[in-house]
Amino acid sequence: MAAEHLDRLRREGRITIVGASLAGLRAAETLRAEGFAGELTLIGDEPYEPYDRPPLSKSVLLGRADPHRTELPRRRETDATWRLGVTATGLDLTAGRVRLSDGDEVEYDRLLIATGVRARPWPKESEARLDGVFLLRTRDDAAGLYQRLRSGPRRVFVIGAGFAGCEVASACREQGIQVTVAERAGAPLVGALGGVVGAVAADLMREHGVDLRTRVTVTALEGDATGRVRAVHLSDESVVEADVVVVSLGSQRNTEWLDGSGLGAGPRGIACDAGCRAFDFRGIVTDDVFVAGDVARSPHALFEYQFLSLEHWGNAVAQAETAAHNMICDGADRRPHLWMPAFWSSQFGVNIKSVGVPPMGEELMITQGSTAERRFVGVYGHKGRVVAAVSFDNTRWLEFYQRAIERGAPFPPEYPTMDRRAENRHPVPADFPDPSLPTHGPMVTLSGWSPADTQLVFHPARH
């Protein structure tokens, strides 16, 4: 009976994908590639077909790419119905229906949720509406910011020194634009890479002329009589005049439309098993709802089965492919999502790349090169084994360290490496901030063992 049901699903079933970006597109392509011949519908809140987001904070801001020409390449025809520019507003799990903002409903036999994240807005709405205040997440955001940078602003102010904020600052300096960056931690990238590597990033920014302010928060944005932003007020009572402000406070997962649906969804994403099947609010796995991409939160066998939310391009692709495969297979043929977390960034002429889960590390050892030279590899350790590595302009070695993570190699590493410096013989504390405090946009969120855990306590910023 189960085999007949699955065969009918593959021939004439209805699969709906909510989220028409990278993960949604790759899932649709995988479904067709693996023989799904039924009705396929993709729903996306933006009016555009899937496009690539990493260039938006890099080559687009530098004028090297048109923000409206970053469409993702298609691997194959999807033969799908695209519902673009319409938002999913609700889910009826019992009836198998997705409610849409235009009043329509879409029925499904299997559902994939790939709604991703959105930029966290500035919390004071009246200030967020000032002309010259930008977010950077969508194609339209990037187009608007690029045009404003071209107009020759006197100073750009970036709130938040995560990867996106640093890349915006880098693009500004490359164009000769004065830029100030405010970060409430002690250095940039602290939430993603820890204080030791963050100090290297801070030196890099300052050497390139960035006015970096750390251990401060922004208390207010000030506008002029015409409604344009003119100044930024800081918690140390200083005031910085700026005519462009970029709010880079991390992201929020798009799960609000699932309120009351019965799924285990919340601000930290949608909990699912390693096969991408969503949990309901009781922690019981569903069989017809799957999750992929930035919005998913799944356990990873290499990292103590902690539930990880990964805002990584490669993870979105790999998880979408796994979810799509599992949607049209029975239990024996399903496979787990075990992608190695990886991330890259280019800023101030340096290529930064990481593998594994750096925030999991308590200690860091520089195994090759030197932080003073901004060319090095750092390895993170957790409970005596290697869990992550980061490189500054030394990417070629990361595959070696990825293998070390996969086999649970001991930490600190005892093997000899090329370019090992005498001053780096011993590990040091990685210096990550208290995990119970928000860090404005970590690239990896560690959320404990259970989808219902309450270990993370949110402390709102004092503005």
Q: In this structure, what are the phi and psi dihedrals at residue 179, rounded to the nearest 5 degrees?
A: -145, 140
User: Which of 310, 326, 255, 249 shows the shortest CA–CA distance to 447?
Assistant: 310
What is the distance between the alpha carbons of residues 213 and 7, in angstroms, rounded to a whole number?
60
What is the distance between the alpha carbons of residues 160 and 351, in angstroms, rounded to a whole number?
20
How does DSSP classify residue 422?
Answer: G
User: What integer pLDDT is reported at residue 455 of this predicted model?
Assistant: 45
How does DSSP classify residue 383?
Answer: T
Q: Tell me: the pLDDT tens digits for 52-99?
A: 999 999 899 999 999 989 999 999 999 999 999 999 999 999 999 999
Query: Where are the strands (E) in 166-242, listed by range?
Result: 178-183, 211-214, 218-223, 229-234, 239-241
For residue 20, count CB atoms less than 10 angstroms from its CB and return exposed for 0-12, middle for 13-18, buried for 19 or more: buried
What is the distance between the alpha carbons of residues 232 and 313, in angstroms, rounded to a whole number?
33
What is the distance between the alpha carbons of residues 309 and 1, in angstroms, rounded to a whole number?
36
Other beta carbons less than 10 A from residue 295's beta carbon:
26
Q: Please give the structure tokens belonging to residue 157.
A: 């102010």
What is the distance between the alpha carbons of residues 463 and 217, in angstroms, rounded to a whole number?
8
User: Which of 302, 321, 300 shows the shortest CA–CA distance to 310?
Assistant: 300
One digit per residue, the tens of pLDDT, for the chain of length 463 reads: 578 889 999 999 999 999 999 999 999 999 999 999 999 999 999 999 999 999 999 899 999 999 989 999 999 999 999 999 999 999 999 999 999 999 999 999 999 999 999 999 999 999 999 999 999 999 999 999 999 999 999 999 999 999 999 999 999 999 999 999 999 999 999 999 999 999 999 999 999 999 999 999 999 999 999 999 999 999 999 999 999 999 999 999 999 999 999 999 999 999 999 999 999 999 999 999 999 999 999 999 889 898 998 899 999 999 999 999 999 998 889 999 988 999 999 999 999 999 999 999 999 999 999 999 999 999 999 999 999 999 999 988 899 999 999 999 999 987 777 777 777 778 999 999 876 655 544 445 545 444 444 444 444 444 3
Give residue 65's identity as a one-letter amino acid code: A
Give residue 463's identity as a one-letter amino acid code: H
State the helix-helix crossing angle for 190-207 and 163-174, rounded to 10 degrees. Answer: 20
Residue 410, phi-psi category: left (phi > 0), alpha (psi -120 to 50), beta (remainder):
beta
Using alpha carbons, list the distances in angstroms from residue 418 to 32, 356, 406.
46, 21, 21
Q: Tell me: the pLDDT tens digits for 397-456?
A: 899 999 999 999 999 987 777 777 777 778 999 999 876 655 544 445 545 444 444 444
What is the distance between the alpha carbons of residues 202 and 454, in angstroms, rounded to a whole number?
33
pTM (2 decimals)?
A: 0.89
Note whether 452 and 264 are within 8 A (CB).
yes
**Torsion, Cα of 234, 148, 165, 47 (10° steps):** 120
